Structure 1
């Protein structure tokens, strides 16, 4: 009977809905809860300046003072965040240089595999090349870690060398930086060693470092398949002064020897080749002594293969010191000379004829 009359509960108009809101609503100003802000100052510990080790700068609308130095945070950000070859672009757009501080952890220790290198580097970020390379075409019956070191140390500091058990004739070498790897690839790729038919094949590796091998397998000559050369005294690029003394040369028929006893003779030099049963040089030239401390000279071979083999085996060979108890360590490198001038030098004949020394 109340069909024509609406109930009060149902006759109320529906409640007004809140207008749709896009985005979040306004938030109360809470400087203590905003990341990177501290009170009324905008110099918090996570400002841009702090990430990049910068100081100061105006505080924007808040007018706060300059931020503090960001030494704590700069250590955790490396240059590899920015593409190599574009430092000017970064500086032009953001007004600051990219971070160049090596990656370290909170204890201040360097990134494992690079901190202890004789010449700390940025792992080749600047060149776009990592510090590790692959080496193929090795005769494992004649090559070991020390002999590879004797060759590759001519182009940069050698950190670690590891032979691969699953790939016979293959090794991985970690150099001091990416530039050293590029020099090795440029000068040693396709170089003959122990067999003119088998040539070294070098390529870049994506690994940033070689991990320590606690139980390396044994090579055919009885030496371990892994060796760490970090801190080795025979690395030749330990500092700028030593680096500038090195003349980078591709393999050639002529070797330059130095750091030998001042009284060195041709017979003594040839005796080293006889002892190792390797090809002797066709020409030996001993330079006139510039000092009484050591001597130097040139060794010429019939072909590049013979010179490479001699360098791999005899580089850093000890030579008895006639006036002291500590032996000399002969050092070898490839010479830029085209040929050896025999005038005023010792000439070694393969038929065993006597030679005259001047």
Structure 2
């Protein structure tokens, strides 16, 4: 108590300031300091850690380990990334040092990866280590040797301003003259020469990621019976379809040209591996920049069924991978569940298990149709999307997420 009283007297007569701010001291009601349990391996979300938990809000565009590495690596050496689905789309990003993680968190938290979507919500993770068993678009270990991939070389004892040394790797206690450690993360990043990603309003790619530019997609393993119109019905759910060219022979399949690279990437992400008409699709980028005109090419540029023509992000809100549930609209009020079931059967598709009409709110009906298999729902959508029947009435269907 004597030493406390002496300290209080000294502070009262000689105030302590830090960065032009006066620091105040007072007695606490706590009688003891309690440390956290040892050996638990867990940290509170607010404790500095070298592992960040990133929640991606409104993830209407595909997010891969490559995407996150591009965003995070300017703030320090990234060791591992693990993407998973728990409370929505989330990811662990492990940095080499807690300081790099802190700068990245302060600079990127709340920013959009793509303008208006894929918003980052960042906190410190409660895990101590990340285990990565394979390198792909969901998990990646950047500390091991990989063909064709090289990590930047960092000196174990970096010197401020040394060529080739990333500023975020500097130990904040070592580089005291620079003083960025005591600044807010965005200010520290700017001071150290790191671009303040996410602060600019631009087209998709505002965080420094170049928007995908490849618009032509290859679709292999198509059934011979599939037509260009049916393929359009499937791909137009993920973007504007410009052209489709049906291929024949040994490479039976098709080429699909989308409106832009993001739409092409979205279609690949959602449709690669989908099963339709007894075949498992292989969907990937083509080396061709565009589809040339030929007797096998059909132009859909001016099709009224392209629903991404207005721009903005509203059209992207209902993008889902194929599921067993379809959403339908614009059905005549005279239609019953039996009429819809017969419509599916008469067009050669499978009968649905369940049909649910929403309460009428206008001259047309809408609702949900559930099939027992995802591939049957996909086939029905390809055949019946925008079908015209009974005085040009339309039944439009689009994929909905599982469980709806």
The TM-score bracket by the shorter chain reads 0.5 to 0.7
Deviations 1:29-73 (A, max 9, x none): xxxxxxxxxxxxxxxxxxxxxxxxxxxxxxxxxxxxxxxxxxxxx
Return closer, same or farther for 1:230/1:265 CA change in 2, 3 Å cut-off.
Answer: same
2:230 corresponds in structure 1 to 147
Match of 1:247 among 295, 307, 318: 318
What is the CA-CA distance between 1:227 and the residue it aligns to?
A: 0.8
Q: Residue 97 of structure 1 aligns with which residue?
A: none
Cα distance, 1:243 vs. partner? 4.2
CA RMSD, Structure 1 to Structure 2 (Å): 3.0
TM-score, structure 2 as length reference: 0.47
Correspondence list, 1:148-297, <5 A: 148-195=231-278, 198-213=279-294, 216=295, 225-240=296-311, 243-244=314-315, 246-292=317-363, 294-297=364-367
- Deviations, residues 190-229 of structure 1 (Å, cap 9, x unaligned): 000011xx2010111122211111xx2xxxxxxxx32110
CA contact (8 A) 1:160 1:210 kept: yes
1:316 equivalent in alignment to 2:386: yes
Q: Sort the Cα spacing of 1:242 and 1:228 in 2 relative to 1 into closer, same or farther, 3 A.
A: farther
> Residue 240 of structure 1 aligns to a residue in which SS?
coil
SS at match of 1:332: strand
The number of aligned residues is 207
Q: Is the 8 A contact 2:243 2:301 kept in 1?
A: yes
The answer to whether the Cα contact below 8 Å between 2:217 and 2:283 also exists between their aligned partners in 1 is: yes
Number of the residue aligned with 2:156: none
Alpha carbons 1:161, 1:227 under 8 Å: kept: yes
Residue 304, structure 1, aligned to residue 371, structure 2: no
Offset of 1:247 from its aligned partner? 0.2
SS at match of 1:180: helix
CA distance in 2, matches of 1:157, 1:308: 19
For the residues of structure 2 that align with 1:186 and 1:135, how far apart are their CA atoms?
Answer: 13
CA shift, 1:166, in A, is 4.1
CA distance in structure 2 between the partners assigned to 1:254 and 1:231 by the alignment: 29
- Measured at CA, do residues 245 and 268 of structure 1 come closer, stay the same or move farther in structure 2, by a change above 3 Å? farther
Q: How far apart, in 2, do the equivalents of 1:235 and 1:266 lie?
A: 28
Q: Say which SS state the counterpart of residue 275 (structure 2) adopts.
A: coil
Q: Which has the higher strand share?
A: 2
The answer as to 2:368 corresponding to 1:334 is no
Q: Hey, which bits of structure 1, 4+ residues long, moved more than 4 A?
A: none
CA distance in 1 between counterparts of 2:366 and 2:326 reads 11
Structure 1 residues 204 and 273: CA distance shift in structure 2, 3 A: same
**Deviation, structure 1 residue 268:** 2.0
The separation in 1 between residues aligned to 2:220 and 2:316, in whole angstroms, is 30
In the alignment, is the contact (CA less than 8 A) between 2:324 and 2:402 conserved in 1?
no
Q: 1:245 to 1:202 in 2, by over 3 A?
A: closer
Structure 2 CA distance for aligned equivalents of residues 126 and 308 of structure 1: 32
Structure 2 distance, partners of 1:332, 1:241, is: 22
How far apart are the structure 1 equivalents of 2:263 and 2:212?
Answer: 12
Is contact 1:259-1:331 (8 Å) kept? yes
Shift of 1:263: 2.8
Cα deviations across residues 272-315 of structure 1 (Å, max 9, x unaligned)?
112212211011111111122x2111111111111011011111
Residues 236 and 306, structure 2, Cα contact 8 Å, conserved in 1: yes
8 Å Cα contact 1:236-1:243 kept in structure 2? no
